[in-house]
Amino acid sequence: MAGRRTRTDTRGGALAVVSAALPAVLLAVAVVVAWALTAPALGPTLLPTPSAVVTALGELAATGDLWPAIAATGGAAARGVVLAVVVGLPLAWVIVHSRRTAAAVEPWIVVSQAVPAIAIAPLLVLWFGYGTGTTALLAALLVFFPFVIASSLGLRGLDHEVLAAARVDGAGTVRLLRHIELPLALPQILAGLRAAVALAMTGAVVGEFVIGGTGLGQLLVAQRDRADTAGLFATLVVLAAVSTTAYLLVRLLEQRALAMTER
């Protein structure tokens, strides 16, 4: 009975996954079909066919330039996320626990997001020079605001009665943060981290447009300069795949972390 029930649960879970993914798959098929029908009328310069993009993707992989480019862009994005989390999480905690700090800092955080990232890039180059470190810093700046906002919302939304009871039981600031605040605010913090991963890839590519490097951003620039539309599409497919994979990995981490906190 137990084995039969396990098999039934497994099949039910698989069917649920297929049912959830089916609309997205059908939409993707419809888009590709419409793309294949429209491309010949527009010509390869404006819209290459799906088969031309697949061919360009294969050629790109065969050159040996693809994996180093993915590693360069992904590495810069990952460092940007780490930097934003290391600075942003303590700042979010301070903002929540200090009204004066919140009043002083929050308006400037908002102002920092009013300036486009591509406009900040030349200034970062003057200050820190060219290199992947500067690209990572630009990615961190793009990530910083949404992560701080998500983290501060999570910390602000905690039950004040639970916090008060913990203080009565003798929990100090560190124990309160470690055992109550962070676990309870974890869903919002990880949601901010998911958004940060996608934005960091955008920041890394924008940084490579302006700062240079050997990543996917520079690959897009080179393909643009030689009017390689199929190559541009192929690189965009790779970029989307890398960003989606990183997002799903963080989502998996989020599910496991939430499952551990519920035990």
pLDDT of amino acid 203: 87
pLDDT tens digit sequence for 90-132: 888 888 878 888 888 878 877 777 777 777 888 888 888 888 8
Question: Could you tell me if 18 and 145 lie in one domain?
Answer: no
For 53-67, what is the mean pLDDT? Answer: 86
Domain count, the chain: 2
pLDDT tens digit sequence for 4-34: 554 555 555 556 656 666 777 788 888 888 8
pLDDT tens digit sequence for 137-192: 988 888 888 888 888 888 887 666 666 666 666 666 666 766 677 777 787 888 88
Question: Could you tell me if 24 and 54 lie in one domain?
Answer: no
Q: What is the CATH number of the domain that holds 218?
A: 1.10.3720.10
Question: Could you tell me if 91 and 21 lie in one domain?
Answer: no
For 218-240, what is the mean pLDDT? Answer: 89
pLDDT confidence tier of residue 86, bands split at 50, 70 and 90 = very high
Question: Could you tell me if 4 and 125 lie in one domain?
Answer: no
HEC sequence for the chain: CHHHHHHHHHHHHHHHHHHHHHHHHHHHHHHHHHHHHHHHHHCCCCCCCHHHHHHHHHHHHHHCCHHHHHHHHHHHHHHHHHHHHHHHHHHHHHHHHCHHHHHHHHHHHHHHHHCCHHHHHHHHHHHHCCCHHHHHHHHHHHHHHHHHHHHHHHHHCCCHHHHHHHHHCCCCHHHHHHHHHHHHHHHHHHHHHHHHHHHHHHHHHHHHHHHCCCCHHHHHHHHHHCCCHHHHHHHHHHHHHHHHHHHHHHHHHHHHHHHHHHC
